[in-house]
Amino acid sequence: MSSPVIAWRAAISLWVNRNRKWILSGPAIAFIVLLLVIPLGYTLYLSFTDAGSSLRASFHFTGLGNYTNVLTDTRRFWPAVYRTVLFTVGAVSVEMLLGAAIALLLRREFRGQGIVRVIILMPLVATPVAVAMLWRLIFEPTIGFANEFLRFFGLPGSEWLSSPSTALPTLMFIDVWQWTPMVALLLLAGLTTVPEEPEEAARVDGANVFQRFWFVTLPLMRSVVFAALILRSVEAFKTFDILYATKGAGGGSMHEAETINIYAYGINFSDNRYGLASAVLVVFFIMVLVLVTLQIVARRRGQ
């Protein structure tokens, strides 16, 4: 082999060795740029324009006009923000409590434990749209199983998803039914890492079950609890499929289940006001960032 070829290969090997961190991380960086940075950048660009009816049509720069319209919209935007926060806080709070209870029950060995775990985790494998259609049939006011069950015990039926006053709580129940298993799974994984010695020492000292959980077990798995809380909070904040599959565009006739995602979808695909919808999505993105930042700060202060 000639010396120029050997020198060329040596130079290539040296360059690869010096830049291996960029070569190895290059595909991940390209993936993030293509699927995250470019769409976010284009959405941010559209939010400052009056784009509408068609993206091929000419549009003009309007500055902060769309943001002014969004932030001063007290008829639909701020009520949608309120419903989004209410849905997230209500659903995630119940999911954390039930998930912790289920994880504590599954922590102990008992006969048929594997079958019970499979049954509890079944809602997690169903697609959100299928879950929404299932519960839509169950909560149907005239022929649904829920009202038939109540009438069997002599109780009055409810309109469930059909009523503006009960639609959002019913949707929160559906979200709890589907995602509590995931919280239980995460907390159960955290419980398996907790050593038994501190809990045994607390039991010897006379602590009851609640005291052992609150003062011993919970502090030891605080990082797992925060991870589950952050994951579920962000996902619940962004919930779209269940709400849209059950209530449709606009979140119902009186917008009773219209969250920020449903509101932005309606503006974009029903009204074709792309600039305004982009501004809503940018504001929503900032809200998600603030939510995550607050939870991370709270976790660090807790540590």
> Going from the N-terminus, what domains does the chain have, and what CATH number goes with each?
74-302 (1.10.3720.10)
Tens-digit pLDDT profile for residues 110-124: 787 788 888 888 888
Beta partners for 49?
61
Residue carrying structure tokens 């102990």: 108
pLDDT category at 210 given cuts 50, 70, 90 is confident
Taking the C-alpha atoms of residue 47 and residue 62, their distance in angstroms, rounded to an integer, is 9
Q: Nearest 5°: phi and psi at 39?
A: -60, -40
Look at residue 56 and tell me whether its pLDDT is greater than 80.
no
286-300 burial code (b ≥16 CB/10 A, e <16): eeeeebeeebeeebe
pLDDT at 25: 86
pLDDT at 294: 83
DSSP 244-279: HHHHTGGGSTT-TT--HHHHHHIIIIIS--HHHHHH
Average model confidence (pLDDT) across the chain: 88
| Pair 182, 100: CB distance under 8 Å | no
Taking the C-alpha atoms of residue 227 and residue 232, their distance in angstroms, rounded to an integer, is 9
Please compute Rg for the chain using Cα positions: 26
pLDDT category at 99 given cuts 50, 70, 90 is very high
Look at residue 92 and tell me whether its pLDDT is greater than 90.
yes
pLDDT at 81: 94
Residue 240 CA, chain-centre distance (Å), reads 9
Contacts of 225 (CB under 8 A, 6+ apart): 96, 100, 187, 190, 218
pTM of the entire predicted model? 0.84
Tens-digit pLDDT profile for residues 1-39: 566 778 888 888 888 888 888 888 888 888 888 888 888
Q: Which of 62-71, 195-204, 210-219 is modeled with the greatest confidence?
A: 62-71
pLDDT category at 128 given cuts 50, 70, 90 is confident
pLDDT at 205: 84
How far, CA to CA in Å, does 13 sit from each of 17, 18, 20, 21? Answer: 6, 9, 10, 14
Contacts of 10 (CB under 8 A, 6+ apart): none
Look at residue 292 and tell me whether its pLDDT is greater than 70.
yes
Q: Nearest 5°: phi and psi at 36?
A: -125, -55
Look at residue 282 and tell me whether its pLDDT is greater than 80.
yes
Residue 251 Ramachandran class (φ > 0 left, ψ -120 to 50 alpha, else beta) = left
pLDDT at 270: 86
Q: 185: which 2 tokens?
A: 């799974």
pLDDT category at 85 given cuts 50, 70, 90 is very high
If one counts every other C-beta atom within 10 angstroms of the C-beta of residue 76, the result is 17
pLDDT at 55: 66
pLDDT at 203: 84
Task: Flag the least confident range among 38-47, 147-156, 290-299.
Answer: 290-299
Look at residue 98 and tell me whether its pLDDT is greater than 90.
yes
